[in-house]
Structure 1
């Protein structure tokens, strides 16, 4: 599966942040954005490589629906860290609009903007219809959309994207299955896999990407960034307690009742059924969801890197209290030192 004989170690790869801009129970989107700004500024100081925000719609607990707007806000409140989308769900948009939006961002913050693209709706079918006005588009059309977007940046089409044309904006393909892995390999693009919620397909997708990779003007060899859920605190017990907010979020999604991020609880057994527990523990399995003290989490991250030979990790920490979330990312940064 690995594309070289050298296995990377924890201190050899960049660490980045995936922020879903969570809205806590009893809070508002405004406070969520204040927390995002604060976390991004701390992340830059602590040495994180990039800070990505994700497009979701009709989700009361996620505030990053207008993803490009929030990217601009974060980039404006930081100085040098890369900021981007993890990702923009391209089927929801006209490629020209995304080219113009990210052309604007790159013009405002040169050399700092990433454009991560996904093909999922980031919502349910009714919301997807509200965004697109029809649901005729098929999955097979996503590669064509990516080509169209690339053409706008290259200036090779009849219609032109101003700003956007001629700008060097890194395009990433995101995925939770093999589809985008193959497409990223074929196009010679960097690839980010959602291991944090599709752990069973991680190694398969990496193999597809690395085995089929074709060098391009963008990238000469495969580059894979993997998503990991991490909740770290002073003790294993406290971290497990804080992680019940993440478990509750996945439980609400499984029940089809997405809501705001809930406060941690002492006992999840009072909330979920045995079948729900089994399903969520399978999704949030050890290896791609790492919970514990500094020592426990460092071992977990080192094992994951050894298993996958990831080029970069993007860390998602869904923690209810902002100060605890900051502390979790700070402890991870201490590991980088």
Structure 2
């Protein structure tokens, strides 16, 4: 019998209405400590820019912050949008993280900008940098080679540091690049599920073993909200639904509190669009969440589920994560 899929968390570090980024970052540290204790495999944050409601723009800084409260869970970026940066600088940042938290740092790499065109200009990059993404990835690998590797320039303290590289994607491009480079692959089905099955098939069929990975290893993203009753879980999930509706309306505000009647909030067209974007979401009681996650694993064959839990109330979010961990049968870590 195959081992059950691992369970990890992508924390959006959401800023909630009535709170600020300082609150979100303090909560992120508490969340990392909680999922570490619950037995999650990894805690990831992602790079977003010009988004008032997400406090993880300085991704490596956030990871250093949350890592202080963790003991065994892997820490990483899911991901760093490499076209926004010089690979050398990312090597320095994640090389530093690898020295702070040896043996448990992940670096997931994405090709998308993670922001709008005006912000790209503020970052001092352009869309055509994405065309150089494969070359930038190879350059990044180089900076982590051992110190005795020939070369006048080294990216200290990255040289010789041990981290796990991941390839991210929401289309087939990332799947094919991950297969070519022999990297683990995570698909962004938590917001763009349309090409999930095609990407997974391409990744597995074209995978080439490498020094990083001997055989394919795939993960997928999914929003998960778990509560004692179906009705309460659905009510808590309206926070995520309203946030996604805000994307359609180009009105990306702070994370809103849940509401009782979501159909009074959106139009039928918005409901259809958001429902498609969130088609991989699993919402319900512990039994329903366990069955829903089982279904995702059965349909995709993934080795790992990377869940998001954008619940407005802090205690309800902690409870959702605890119930999800229990439903999936995670073994808590020893203190």
Q: 1:121 aligns with which of 113, 116, 126?
A: 113
1:142 equivalenced with 2:133 (yes/no): yes
Equivalent pair of 1:60/1:259 in contact (CA under 8 Å): yes
Matched, 1:304 2:282: no
- Structure 1 unaligned regions, length at least 5: 1-5
Q: 2:140 & 2:161 partners in 1: Cα distance?
A: 12
1:210-225 to structure 2, matched below 5 A, reads: 210-225=204-219
Contact 2:7/2:305 (<8 A) preserved: yes
Distance 1:316 1:136, change over 3 A: closer
Structure-2 change in CA distance of 1:182 and 1:156 (3 Å)? farther
The correspondence for 1:252, drawn from 246, 249, 256, is 246
Question: Secondary structure of 1:32's partner?
Answer: helix
Q: Verify: 1:75 aligned to 2:54, yes or no.
A: no
Structure 1 residue 153 displacement after superposition: 0.8
For residues 202 and 239 of structure 1, do their structure 2 counterparts lie closer, same or farther at Cα, with a shift above 3 Å needed? same
The alignment covers a number of residue pairs equal to: 326
Work out the CA distance in 2 between the residues paired with 1:119 and 1:323: 35
SS in structure 2 at match of 1:225: strand
Q: Which residue in the other structure is 1:329 paired with?
A: 321
State how far apart, in whole Å, the 1-side matches of 2:34 and 2:136 are: 36
**Is contact 2:287–2:327 with CA below 8 Å preserved after alignment?**
no
User: For residues 115 and 229 of structure 1, do their structure 2 counterparts lie closer, same or farther at Cα, with a shift above 3 Å needed?
Assistant: same
Report the equivalent of 2:333: none
Confirm or deny that 1:98 pairs with 2:87.
Answer: no
Cα distance, 1:75 vs. partner?
A: 1.2
Distance (whole Å) between structure 2 residues aligned to residue 291 and residue 254 of structure 1: 22
Deviation (angstroms), 1:127: 0.8
Q: Deviations over 1:73-116 (max 9, x none)?
A: 11111111110001011111110000000001101111011111
Alignment partner of 1:17 is 2:17: no
TM-score normalized with structure 1 length: 0.94
Q: Does 1:57 pair with 2:52?
A: no
Which runs of 4 or more aligned residues in structure 1 lie more than 6 Å from their structure 2 counterparts after TM superposition?
Answer: none
SS at match of 1:71: helix
> Structure 2: which 5+ runs fail to align?
330-335
Question: Could you say what the CA RMSD is over the residues aligned between the two structures, in angstroms?
Answer: 1.2
Q: Deviations over 1:262-319 (max 9, x none)?
A: 000111122111111111111111xx10111111111111111111111111110111
